[in-house]
Structure 1
């Protein structure tokens, strides 16, 4: 086909190359200058002249079949180092050919809403936003290395072979909260955002990411708002927020399900939102929660179901909600410090975290730690009770450790028995019936005073006098208190919580 008089020289080159899918290079493009997001995208593309410029409507015409493909080849639009002028808009169309742009500059946003396309690759490009809500991509969409100065909208879009935003820099529109809006998107074969930089939040509410979700080294900046909002998202395989990951804003994953491992060892900073890490009502097969430093803000795992949790006491958050959390296995250091782990709820005492931890200790064979956990629960509950409840609780704690330390009763009994034995040996009581009374035994007499029901018959036969009478009364009362506390504590241990 000859040159069309309506095409510029650069456009004619593209027109001629389309049938075979040959790459048309209109200017030098440097690749791989650095790992900074968007660094490879051209910064001076708006100044490129006609020799490097192609109208967007020419690109759209070729994609929609304005020219037949060559025999034995796969037609495609492949451009490098070009400036695309005018709006590239294909709404609701069927695009049977690939679009591959590398190191290009687009003057206006791309609009592909509702379109059905083949693979689209806009790598190391600069452009002011993309609208692709509801699009169907029989292949993958790659914006890797690009500098996008506007919101990317991909709600309800479907990608058969992945969504690639590795090293992409995206700055949300001036009045837009989201840099990437991909609610209810479906992505097969992986969602890659490694080393990406988003100024504005990323929203994936209700999305399904079947090949994993990779945010290694990514930076999400949306202070005071959601850096990542992904309620009810489903991730098959792995979700990674590692290798220098940084979120300035809340990571919100309420109700999400991750059928694999979720690893977070980056940094999350959001002290000015209700939660910094909102992970309630989730299902996660394995959670590795080991941030580079303690998360700034409140963390909630309330009502979440975990298979395995791996964390580190050195990076436990100061404010941690665990009410309703269930897990099958705990890993990491600080096994004995888990009791401290369940005490960090900023809203105060909740019994369930203690019960769950005690049950796990028992399943792991740590009976002593299970008892310590139950004792810690009762001590924490005491702080929520009235004055009478706190006093009685304190007495139970001191006397028998709420039944979890019955040896305390034996210790107190022994100390009081020794005291009574010494005092009454030095100050024997008088016999009530001298002719009928047995020989006085200070040890047996003190023992009888401490028992609610006397065993040796000494208490009824002798009567202390003076100040020792008050000691006798004290031993009797102490004996009743110890017996009552031991029974009450045992009842607490045996009664279901």
Structure 2
């Protein structure tokens, strides 16, 4: 081991007992946990650490030597590297190493990125520090990794890592070094939660294929990656809860395609991504409960296509203008009347899709509300009519006016009663002439109008009398109207009763 400086000698001597070595500049005894309240990301990280002199400087290889067993532990003590307010020169590289001791640094400045690829370590805390990135692919941590409050000017890469506790990034500021990712945590297992509260990431956050057994918490986080993915979490598995809560802001697409949340997914922040295909991509998602109540309408297209939800909570005031719901299924909807829900299913930017209407009707049926289910089905048929040719639109309009496509059969009765009243009044004042005066029954204007309206006469009046003058046109109109009403009723009943 090369000759140690005074600062390094202090650390060397403090290691066996795990004592803190304070070289100045940081608040004594300060700790940051996953629940730390931070108003500004990296507010306490050093800004001038690269100017600190030799009295506050420690070489990275001294720290690595201690962590890898260069000095024996003292009896009855728990060794650890605990350092505050130091400048670390050289690269702290522990690649593939087995590290049985904790590393705790607070308010430190690291000149070079930290290399932990393939290492097996205990808890590592680099809180309120300034460092140019961290690589930890395949890292195994028997505890947690904390970068809370730190200012990281390079990508944090932790793909395929395993954390027996948590990954804490509360109040951390990360600026990605490749214009793509700030935090790359693909296929990582975190047993006690991912915490990004009040973090600020310039570049995307990638959680593809990760398993977050203790939940995911991003309240107050800002993710900036305009025109690209701000959050990519395809096929992520989250136990308990995933909160993109109050103060969360994404500039870029929030992508949760194929994610599974075995609890609640909550979005109460804001998402702005008008220049990507989707602003919120939640297709093929599975979740027990979803709360979609952003602080403002999402700026861009939202898709929930082919997702399976237990309960969906949302707010019409923040529904996006473009919303894809084709293939979405849910067990429960919370709040809002049928008119708003029909508006909700009509926002597909690609036009009419029948399945959202069918699902809405199925929900109302399962809730025991047959009337609202019929209204949803009627709205579907009206929307479909707008996609048909001229003939289909005319016939559809006729079915709608006559019987409400079979969902409003009382309309046929109303039309029948109105035409019957007109016919009775007209033929009472202008009776038709009998075809066979000696054999004709007594004329009854009501029965005659009724017979004209029925496709098959019931009272024998239509065969015995012949209208004269202009009343012939009324009689023809009543006959045609009767056939139209009967056909509409049959067509509507067939549509309603046909198995879905």
TM-score normalised by length of structure 2: 0.97
Match of residue 277 from structure 1: 280
Q: Distance in 1 between matches of 2:2 and 2:299?
A: 63
Q: Distance in 1 between matches of 2:170 and 2:442?
A: 94
**Displacement of 1:46:** 0.7
Q: Distance in 2 between matches of 1:496 and 1:193?
A: 50
Match of residue 306 from structure 1: 309
Residue 76 of structure 2 is aligned with which of 64, 72, 75? 72
Is the 1:178–1:202 Cα contact (8 Å) retained in structure 2? yes
SS in 1 for 2:333: strand
**Displacement of 1:89:** 1.1
Q: Distance in 2 between matches of 1:336 and 1:447?
A: 38
Q: Distance in 1 between matches of 2:252 and 2:176?
A: 15
Match of residue 316 from structure 1: 319
1:16-35 residue pairs with structure 2 within 5 A? 16-30=13-27, 35=39
SS in 1 for 2:290: strand
Please tell me whether residue 102 in structure 1 is matched to residue 106 in structure 2: yes
Match of residue 403 from structure 2: 400
Is the 2:38–2:171 Cα contact (8 Å) retained in structure 1? no
1:428-447 residue pairs with structure 2 within 5 A? 428-447=431-450
Residue 356 of structure 1 is aligned with which of 356, 359, 365? 359
Match of residue 287 from structure 1: 290
Please tell me whether residue 329 in structure 1 is matched to residue 304 in structure 2: no
Is the 1:144–1:164 Cα contact (8 Å) retained in structure 2? yes
Match of residue 202 from structure 1: 205
Deviation by residue 1:169-213 (Cα, 9 ceiling, x = unmatched): 00111x330000010001011111111111110001000000010
Match of residue 127 from structure 2: 123
Residue 91 of structure 1 is aligned with which of 92, 95, 98? 95
Is the 2:59–2:90 Cα contact (8 Å) retained in structure 1? yes
Aligned length, in residue pairs: 493
RMSD: 1.3
**Displacement of 1:232:** 0.4
Deviation by residue 1:24-79 (Cα, 9 ceiling, x = unmatched): 00012146996201111010111100000001111111111111111110111110
Is the 1:151–1:176 Cα contact (8 Å) retained in structure 2? no
Is the 1:336–1:369 Cα contact (8 Å) retained in structure 2? no
Is the 2:365–2:373 Cα contact (8 Å) retained in structure 1? yes
Distance 1:308 1:472, change over 3 A: same
Q: Distance in 1 between matches of 2:42 and 2:198?
A: 10
Q: Distance in 2 between matches of 1:321 and 1:249?
A: 18
Between stretches 402-411 and 360-369, larger displacement belongs to 360-369
Is the 1:218–1:246 Cα contact (8 Å) retained in structure 2? yes
**Displacement of 1:333:** 3.5
Match of residue 159 from structure 1: 163
Please tell me whether residue 6 in structure 1 is matched to residue 3 in structure 2: yes
TM-score normalised by length of structure 1: 0.97
Is the 2:402–2:415 Cα contact (8 Å) retained in structure 1? yes
Please tell me whether residue 246 in structure 1 is matched to residue 249 in structure 2: yes
**Displacement of 1:332:** 2.8
Residue 390 of structure 1 is aligned with which of 379, 390, 393? 393
Residue 151 of structure 2 is aligned with which of 125, 142, 147? 147
Q: Distance in 2 between matches of 1:157 and 1:111?
A: 13
Q: Distance in 2 between matches of 1:383 and 1:116?
A: 63
Residue 187 of structure 1 is aligned with which of 170, 190, 200? 190
Is the 2:92–2:112 Cα contact (8 Å) retained in structure 1? yes
